[in-house]
Amino acid sequence: MHKPRLVYLALPEQRKSGLLSRIVNIRTGASVPEANAMAATKLTEWLELAEVRNVLVAGGNSPLDLYGLIAERPLSLCRLRVFALDEYVGVPLEEPRNCANLMRRRVVEAWQVPETNYFTISSLVSAAAASVQRHERLIQEWGGLDVAILGLGQNGHLGFNEPGSAKDAPARVVHLNPISVEANRQWFSGDYAPAAGATVGLGTLLAARRVLVLAFGPHKTAAVRAMAEGEPTSSCPASFLQDHPNAWLFLDAPAAAGLNRAAPR
């Protein structure tokens, strides 16, 4: 399978000075609503750009309020192509809490994006691997991601790119770590506990021209510190974003509590 080439849009003077090394744009709110308001301002700025067409959206708890804030704004988003980040494997297609159906309600319908511009991954065990590989090929055929909206996993994952994922990892089905399986069980209120997930690859996420990451709560403190201040390593896949010139991390105060440097408000 073709692996996407990482292309960063850094200015020449940034490359020369090394300012991209271990730098992430961080903004901290005193509360989750304040952090989401900051993130909504940045995301609106991006979505208003005429060249932004391909937007990848994450499911889970962290970004849902952000999506709602965007839906409340007078934006014309019918031009967007919306791509799901990942999908639980082994959950029925009709399950309303799977990623495809959740993002259909909270993003596609709420933002008034045509259904024909919405692209998902199958949750069926028999179809997930081929589906997510086709999904990633389609992203590449459309020129890559203009915006990727992500949550930060408690173990530093992005999508279902679990610790150990290579920087250029492609789309695939992943066997999940116990901490992710437990998070899945809680998400589905015990009805399901998927132990596998299909995900867009880390290589495609890192090649996105703009990346917005959300992390809230004290259970994300260690992952935030590893992402923003640790050595870039596959043990915390999100840490590879340190060298991305347009990655933004939005935190509430508890999630930011472990940082050595003060994050701007």
Annotated catalytic sites, by residue? Answer: 86, 155, 157, 162
Q: Which residues contact 135 (CB under 8 A, 6 or more apart)?
A: 83, 84, 119, 120, 121, 171, 200
Find the DSSP H helices in 57-118.
Answer: 64-71, 99-103
Task: Answer yes or no: are the C-beta atoms of 120 and 99 closer than 8 Å.
Answer: yes
Q: What angle do CA 39, 186, 213 make, to 5 degrees?
A: 20
